[in-house]
Amino acid sequence: MAGSFANLITHVVFSTKHRENLIPESFEADLYAYLAGVIRGERGVPIAMGGTANHVHLLAVFSPAISVSEMAKRIKGNSSRWINAERRLPGHFAWQGGYGAFSVSESAKDRVVQYIRNQKEHHRRQTFEEEFIGLLEKHHVPWDEKYIWA
């Protein structure tokens, strides 16, 4: 085959440092626009973003030339530098180390988009910690309580 062809849809989840409530609702639109810009700048396609005051979910197609790990590093690093340099939020802002990443089939994409967009409603019934562990289990990702929130 002469070319490379991929449609790798990825659901990425990451939290604020210590899962503190650092993202006010009034800032979410600006934050998501910035995150989308970082993804586009790396030749990716942002599909959906959502979250609450202490974490973000994003669904995107990343360029196959960049690993998911590198994309998460660039998204989190660029956005935290922007937030702090522009003094967009009071105090120092930081993301928690690490992230969760889950592959999404084209046939499940619309369901995941709705899930991400309904984060506020979803978290009236479940904490972020419960949600994240549930995602790890649903996607059969091995995890250890000693390392998950460190």
Q: What is the pLDDT of residues 35-64, one digit of tens each?
A: 999 999 999 999 999 999 999 999 999 999
Q: What is the pLDDT of residues 62-97, one digit of tens each?
A: 999 999 999 999 999 999 999 999 887 888 999 999
Q: What is the pLDDT of residues 99-121, one digit of tens each?
A: 999 999 999 999 999 999 999 99
List Cβ neighbours of 65 (8 Å cut-off, separation of 6 or more). Answer: 43
Domains with residue ranges and CATH for the chain? 9-148 (3.30.70.1290)
Q: In this predicted structure, what is the pLDDT of residue 1?
A: 67
Q: What is the pTM of this model?
A: 0.93
